[in-house]
Structure 1
């Protein structure tokens, strides 16, 4: 099984590259806890998608720490990495989005894989749930969801994909751009929509199959023909999966993670993240140092 971490963001709201901030008790990156938890659940390949200038540093950093039997691939998400026959002559600096980040791994991933953000903490139990799903299901995709009220930030609004489910089947994920807590309800200040907080939210923890690569490639070709989109727009992984779902090309399960999530969207989130990781280490959930 493969764990794919997306670590190519620029950290504009955080103020620096949060993927490489020393949040653990011994200076560990947040992604190292995800990698550790995945390895404990028999994941054997780690793929990290990052910026070209960070590849060598991150590959050396992780190779020195990971067990020898773990396959490690650190890949650069590059603007020039496009489908055969497609060319782009513009001067865009911003990456093509999370779907393109996943597509970057098409030549090194050969089986089911888990995708997640390198700058989020997803809890330990979710990796077992993902591994169990992969072992018991040969075709379906899955979203490991989190209770919406537990995914907010005390320091500003957040964007979340709010899930609509039917039993254990994912029906849709609707992106809400400015979610904030108002009393006992959650309001999307962008649309005025209200939520109870008990809804499942997507925190970008997906179980995918290699079929996603063909879908992303075909959508990239269409995307790159639109002059308006290629200026500033991005291709997002959840949109790709939702399109496949609505076209009945895949079945997607929504599995409540039952775990704790926290992230570092804002610089002020760091103190809480550091305290959380320190507490979990002191409780014996993690070794220190981690490796």
Structure 2
């Protein structure tokens, strides 16, 4: 069966990043770096690997640096060229989306993830789209969105990435109930936002990567505020489930919740140890602290 190709990805980047104050007072949390790449760049790289052609950023005040990051900086490029920094110059140019492939729109009030997605409705149009939360960093081969795309090409509908957490932690997440199918694609029969431990249908959490049909926009337009007094994407997806299939993909890989300090610091350690150019030096410094031997 042929399904509409997913060409567009939406990145909600309007959050205030209060858990990282004062660092995020003047710098968007999405520009915090894991080793030497901003979080938002990892998300864009993942989308590009999956075949995404159009990158839509839902921003807010003080987020202009994100737009600048995905633009050319001629003075910097000229300086690198004059100094013979060819490798650094090539890396900068490789990271840039092609001209006309990025769009930016504003979420003028912090009304929740569902509202942020709704703000992208006119840019996305009547087409399926990917939704990536930049706070969530995934390390996998292939990337999580590419794994989801492979499932989508077979099933169509809406696709959600999921992972397992300890049962006692389910009340902090959106949880799905698993129906028929394999880890690469199973039917989701229920979604619950932050359930009590004893009421959770499983320990499979929604992990910050989605492929959604455009019908979600009409539902978000009428969605009332839910958990936390915000418009929740999960609530709209629950309604959409009544008329469209939702497929879960238990992805292969490792996740880091970089919206938390522990997750962010852990990601930096893991990604640093995965870099051939800095691994040995980093381990040497960790050894001085008495922790490198355990890692090595």
Between the aligned partners of 2:211 and 2:273, the Cα distance in structure 1 is 29
Contact 2:193 2:234 in 1 (8 A): no
> Any gaps of 5 or more consecutive residues in structure 2?
1-6, 73-94, 181-185, 279-296
Cα distance per residue 1:2-49 (max 9 Å; x no partner): 2211212122233334222122x32x2112112112212221111111
Segments ≥4 residues shifted beyond 4 Å: none
2:153 maps to: 135
Contact 1:103 1:216 in 2 (8 A): yes
Query: For residues 1-291 of structure 1, what are the structure 2 equivalents within 5 Å?
Result: 1-15=7-21, 16=24, 17-23=28-34, 25-26=35-36, 28-54=37-63, 56-64=64-72, 65-68=95-98, 71-79=101-109, 95-110=110-125, 111-124=127-140, 125-138=143-156, 140-149=157-166, 159-167=172-180, 168-176=186-194, 191=196, 193=198, 199-219=203-223, 223=224, 233-245=229-241, 248-282=242-276
Equivalenced residue count is 236
State the secondary structure of the residue aligned to 2:121. coil
Give the TM-score of the pair, scaled to structure 2: 0.70
Contact 1:3 1:47 in 2 (8 A): yes
Q: How big is the alpha-carbon RMSD for the aligned residues of Structure 1 and Structure 2? A: 3.0
Deviation at 1:147, TM superposition (A): 1.8
Cα distance per residue 1:127-176 (max 9 Å; x no partner): 212222343344x11111112249x7xxxx98211221111111122233
**Structure 1 215/10 Cα, relative in aligned 2: closer, same or farther at 3 Å?**
same
**Structure 1 69/137 Cα, relative in aligned 2: closer, same or farther at 3 Å?**
farther
State the secondary structure of the residue aligned to 1:240. helix
Contact 2:70 2:97 in 1 (8 A): no
Between the aligned partners of 1:192 and 1:238, the Cα distance in structure 2 is 18
**Which structure has more RCO (C-alpha within 8 Å, separation ≥ 6)?**
1
If you compute each CA radius of gyration, which structure gives the higher value, 1 or 2? 2
Contact 1:47 1:105 in 2 (8 A): yes
